[in-house]
Amino acid sequence: MSTISRASLEEEIYLRSLTGYLVGKNLLDGFRRIAVLTYPDKICSAMSAALLSSYMSTYGYKNEAGMVFIYDESRLKEISDKIAKGGFDAVYLSLGGEQKMSTVSEVTKKILDSLRRSGFAGSLVIHVRAWLATRQLSSILSEKELRDYIKSLKEIRVFTADLQNKLFLFHRVIIEETPRLIKFKEEKLTEEHVKLLQISLPPPE
């Protein structure tokens, strides 16, 4: 893992178990079937597994509650078609664990354009690092086709952290002139969780 993070790989993976637990039971509330599109690295994969496990633990262990798709640019159309036609009412983008923020922004844009072309019309759920990497989606909303597509989706959700007050905040995103966050849930963080978040940093540019 090429990174300036002060956390070890073991700590990074454990951090995703804590974060995934809270995200799965809060940010995915109300969805019936979740597609998780993850970058092919250890940390993003850990986050994907943790949030789906938490989602099923909270809302029911059942057949076809979710599915994980591994990001592969050469297969992106195939993946997007499967998501669009697979009966998923939400797609979660699990990005940013081991990638530079510029890469996360670029990959997020490619995924959304591919989902647009495939006709996915459900809800979009974004990991906080993808939210930050795209400058709160502004780097994507600057393109009219993508802006119109994102505005047409049923719902957009994201979580953010308030480490000073030891909180995860869960929001709906409203696209106006600029994206606006409407908080619908919050969850208190443990001291351990806060400390791990403070030392977990993305790779340098």
80 found inside a domain: yes
Structure tokens, 153:
């989706």
For residue 173, the 8-state DSSP code is E
36 found inside a domain: yes
62 found inside a domain: yes
Q: Specify the DSSP element, H or E, that contains 94.
A: strand 90-94
Asked if residue 3 has pLDDT above 60, the reply is no
27 found inside a domain: yes
147 found inside a domain: yes
43 found inside a domain: yes
Q: What is the reported pLDDT for 202?
A: 83
Across the strands, what pairs with 201?
A: none
CATH code, domain carrying 191: 3.40.50.2300
146 found inside a domain: yes
Half-sphere exposure in the Cβ direction for 157 (13 Å, CA): 24
- Measured distance CA(24)–CA(8) in Å, rounded: 24
Query: Of 153, 156, 161, whose CA–CA distance to 173 is shortest?
Result: 156
29 found inside a domain: yes
Print the domain residue range for 75: 9-199
pLDDT grade for 4, boundaries at 50, 70 and 90: low
163-194 per-residue burial string, b: 16 or more CB within 10 A, e: under 16? eeeebbbbbebebeeebebeeeeebebeeebb
| Chain position carrying tokens 């996360």 | 104
- Measured distance CA(184)–CA(42) in Å, rounded: 30
- Give tens-digit pLDDT for 113-158: 999 999 999 999 999 999 999 999 999 999 999 999 999 999 999 9
Total domain count, the chain: 1
